A and B are shown apart, each in its own frame.
Chain A
Amino acid sequence: MKVNAYLALAYSFLWLLLMLYVWSLSRRQARVKRELEELRERVARDSSSQSAAS
């Protein structure tokens, strides 16, 4: 392997690793956002059924 290939590989692997982590973080953020939306809907459903019952 040519010496400059090691340089290119080192930079590429490090950025790939960082990009993968950023992707995993954004997935987790999206999941929390989705759960929050579901919770909001549940609260809205609960309060509407409660007012209908009273």
Chain B
Amino acid sequence: MKSKFPLSVHLALTLVWFWVAFYMIFLYAPREETMGEVQRIFYIHVPSAWTALLGFIIVFIASVVHLWKQKPLADQVAHAAAEVGFIFCTGVLITGPLWAKPVWGIWWTWDARLTLTFMLWLLYIAYLMLRGYLIQPGRAANLCAVVGVIGFIDVIVDYMAIRWWRTQHPQPVILGGPNSGLDPRMLATLLVSWGAFLCLYFYLVRQRLAVAQARSELSEIRRTLELARTER
């Protein structure tokens, strides 16, 4: 099936968007007074985190659709969204400590936000390992869908953690209350960067989905061939 938005165009758009984002991160956004240049990690750390959370929201929606309608496409979408989301969640856990060390003086602390993000990463691993270990495809899809639905609780608590509890992790800078906020140029840079991350996320999900669909078509052809051979 031909898409109205070809993958090559999607890739080109992603690359251009990243080029603009990098220009804004290093040349347009002002230098933060307290942290200095290292604060520019913010423009990849926060978009990675938001994209990873969005990944699990997509897993949740696709899992609910799969459990309700038993549609293989919903299961394939959930699997692709989880795999790519895992990559972005790993990115959060790499860039976070590299930002924390020069600013807090420590690589890691077990506060609510950091612990819940680590739990989200473990949930992604559990989800993907379950897929690998279960041999019956239908059973694996149903069990993973249950993990995808339960895992969504972590997404909500993780998002709310810095609002509910006092944490080492900074309070939200967007929609965080009267004392929160960002310089308009920093906000514009953050949003453009997140746009680039989203574009990349959906490009990778589409590629991963294409592999899954090609694989399922291959299995279907194999089954048909075997059937034809036994009938002969």
**A3 contacts B by Cβ under 8 Å:** yes
Which segment, of B93-101, B137-145, B168-176, faces chain A?
Answer: B93-101
Instruction: Verify A10–B204 contact, CB threshold 8 A.
Output: no
Residue in A6, A11, A13, A33 whose CB lies within 8 Å of B101: A6
- Could you say which residues of chain A place their CB within 8 Å of the CB of B101? 6
Instruction: Verify B37–A4 contact, CB threshold 8 A.
Output: yes
Instruction: Verify B211–A32 contact, CB threshold 8 A.
Output: yes
Instruction: Verify B99–A11 contact, CB threshold 8 A.
Output: no
- Could you say which residues of chain B place their CB within 8 Å of the CB of A29? 207, 210-211, 214
Which segment, of B68-76, B119-127, B217-225, faces chain A?
Answer: B217-225
Per-residue 0/1 for A5-37: is the Cβ within 8 Å of any B Cβ (1 yes, 0 no)? Answer: 011011101100110011001001100110110
How many chain-A residues does the 8 Å CB contact rule pick out? 24
**A44 contacts B by Cβ under 8 Å:** no
- Could you say which residues of chain B place their CB within 8 Å of the CB of A32? 211, 214-215, 218
Instruction: Verify B41–A10 contact, CB threshold 8 A.
Output: yes
Chain A, residue nearest B210 (CB): A29
Task: Kindly state the separation between the CA atoms of A4 and B204 in the bound complex, as whole angstroms.
Answer: 30
**B45 contacts A by Cβ under 8 Å:** yes
Additional 13 contacts, C-beta under 8 A, given A18-B91, A42-B225: A6-B101, A7-B37, A9-B98, A13-B98, A17-B91, A18-B87, A25-B204, A25-B208, A35-B218, A36-B218, A39-B218, A39-B222, A43-B225
